[in-house]
Amino acid sequence: MTVISKTKYESSESEIRKLFSFHKLGNVVDIAALGCGEFNAAYKVTCDNGISYALKIAPPEGSKVLSYEKNMMKSEVFWYSQMHEKTDILCPKVYVSDFSKEIIKSNCFIMELMPGGLIWEMGISAEEYEAIQKQKICMLTKIHGITNDGYGYIQTGLKASWYEALKNMAIRLVDDCKSLGHETPDGERFVQMIEKHKKLLETVPCRMVNFDLWDSNILYNKETGKICWIDPERGFWGDPVADFITLGPGQKAPLSAKQKELDIYNQIAEEKIFLTKETEIRYALAVCYLALIEEVEKYVRYEADNPTYIRNTVDAREMYDMAFGIL
């Protein structure tokens, strides 16, 4: 099984068999690597009852991860529960959460293996792709209807406002970068921009935000035409505008380039998001946050000659440049 990043847990077949036996899910007859994620390890596990499951394992104890990524798997299970309890979004059911580290020496959970595949593997048409994007936007309107009193990441502690939460999130990443032996002038500038727009950020509503709804985090069922949401691990409570980063022309484009996506969103959503100077600033700050994540995470995940390390460097630069131009 190929490990493509420095954070993936390398599980033995023996561990997996013991885990499934302990939780009385059946005797394991087949184990295969699953997905193309770069952080957690994932396996398709088939048991003698004919049922296949998805097993997801967090990075091993002691792995170098970013501050917000610690205990992130518990957060992922929480976000799945929110979608199941408060929306009709199609996503896997979690059957077992095992955070004991007694059998597999890292946090893990076992969930429903959903039908479908990644859209670039499915031979879809342009019309199908448009329909998929509309489904993604519809899903976002549903999670944005889920509210909370505290902002930020569950795993790092919630704050009273989006200003406090975003500043804390940014400073944690800047500190992570420094602890890894690198400076981040752009990250420092981002913190200054948060301070500059403090009054605006203190008025932002608190909503469930996924911040990671790329095409790689959905499964497409060609027979039904429906999509299934997977990997909500990077979610937080915060500004719903941030979820527009993954839509339309992507993370390097300003919110003003996403009028089509805004229009689709506002046709469905009870709480509309309009293109204004304020929403452009809020969006640009979210782009800066993603840029800072990409800038810093490359140091813990990849070697300097890895293509993804290089991609992160280029992406972060272009995102910062676009966002700072607005801020």
Nearest to 153 by CA among 229, 212, 94, 84: 212
- Reply yes or no on whether the pLDDT at 1 is more than 50: no
264 compared with 1, residue with greater pLDDT: 264
| Residues 283 and 193 both lie in one domain | yes
Reported pTM? 0.94
Instruction: Give the pLDDT mean for 199-226.
Output: 96
Q: Looking at this protein, which amino acid is placed at residue 118?
A: L
| Residues 174 and 321 both lie in one domain | yes
10 — pLDDT class (breaks 50, 70, 90): confident
Token pair 């272009």 in the structure block, residue: 318
pLDDT digits (tens, 9 = 90+) for 218-227: 999 999 999 9
- CATH code, domain carrying 97: 3.30.200.20
pLDDT digits (tens, 9 = 90+) for 232-281: 999 999 999 999 999 999 999 999 999 999 999 999 999 999 999 999 99
DSSP 121: G
Provide the CA 162 distance to its chain's centre, in angstroms: 18
- Reply yes or no on whether the pLDDT at 4 is more than 60: no
| Residues 54 and 147 both lie in one domain | no
- State the Cα–Cα distance between residues 127 and 243, nearest whole angstrom: 23
| Residues 235 and 274 both lie in one domain | yes
**In which element (H, E) is residue 203 found?**
none
Domain membership of residue 313 as a residue range: 124-326
- Tally helices (H) and strands (E) across the chain: 9, 9
| Residues 84 and 144 both lie in one domain | no
